[in-house]
Structures are given as structure tokens and as C-alpha cells.
Structure 1
Amino acid sequence: MTTRVFGPLMVGHTGLVLAVMRDGRLAVVKLDGPEHDLPNGIRRWTFHWGDLVQLPGRTRSD
């Protein structure tokens, strides 16, 4: 499974970056929300860093 295949299902979800890998090119993200609302019921996904958008006002402590 890749985020490229599930990309359209990922739009609109928010989450927290847990780790940055591959010299900053990839990020492991833990998605927010109930498991049954997540793409394929999976909470943690690997994204290309450039595919992520930071929401204004959202910080690690939120």
C-alpha cells in the first residue's frame, strides 16, 4: 500500500508528524480521527514531505 494509491482518501485528514526520514524527504504521520474513518483503517502513513501542508496555529502541544 502506498499513499499514492490512497492519496484521494487522505485529503482532508489531519495528523501529527512522528518522524522525518530519508534526509527529510519522507515523514511518518499519525492521522487523527476514529480508525473506521481512516483510509483502509490505518493510522500511520509515510508521506513525501512536499505532499504535506502545515495548518496555521497547529503545534506539537495541541
Structure 2
Amino acid sequence: THPGNAQELAVIFFLKIWAICCILFTYKELHVFKEPKSTFFKDLSPKKKEKYYNISKMFR
């Protein structure tokens, strides 16, 4: 086997996870802002809200 193969697979795997995370966060954000009555943010403490917001900013 090629030494680069495992590394390439790891990179592809990571990119797939990254893409899924991007899609999820984008969807969650759009969903939350479209529906102000959404319980997603209501149930979160201010600290958690800030954490989610910071994480979602990283994905932009």
C-alpha cells in the first residue's frame, strides 16, 4: 500500500465531516432566524448561545 493513502483517506473523511457540519450549522442558523419563536435558542443558556454563535461564525 501507498503511505499517502491513509493520509488522503483521513483528509477526505475530515472534509466530509467539515462539510456536514457546515450544512448543519447553516441550516440551524437559517431555521432559527426564519422562526424567531424557535425553541432552539430559547432553551440555551446565554453562555451556550454565545458558544454556538462563535462556532457558527467559524464555519462562515
| Higher Cα Rg, which structure | 2
By the TM > 0.5 criterion, same fold?
A: no
TM-score by length of 2: 0.21
Structure with higher helix content? 2
Q: Which has the higher contact order (CA 8 A, sep 6+)?
A: 2
How does the TM-score come out when normalised to structure 1? 0.21
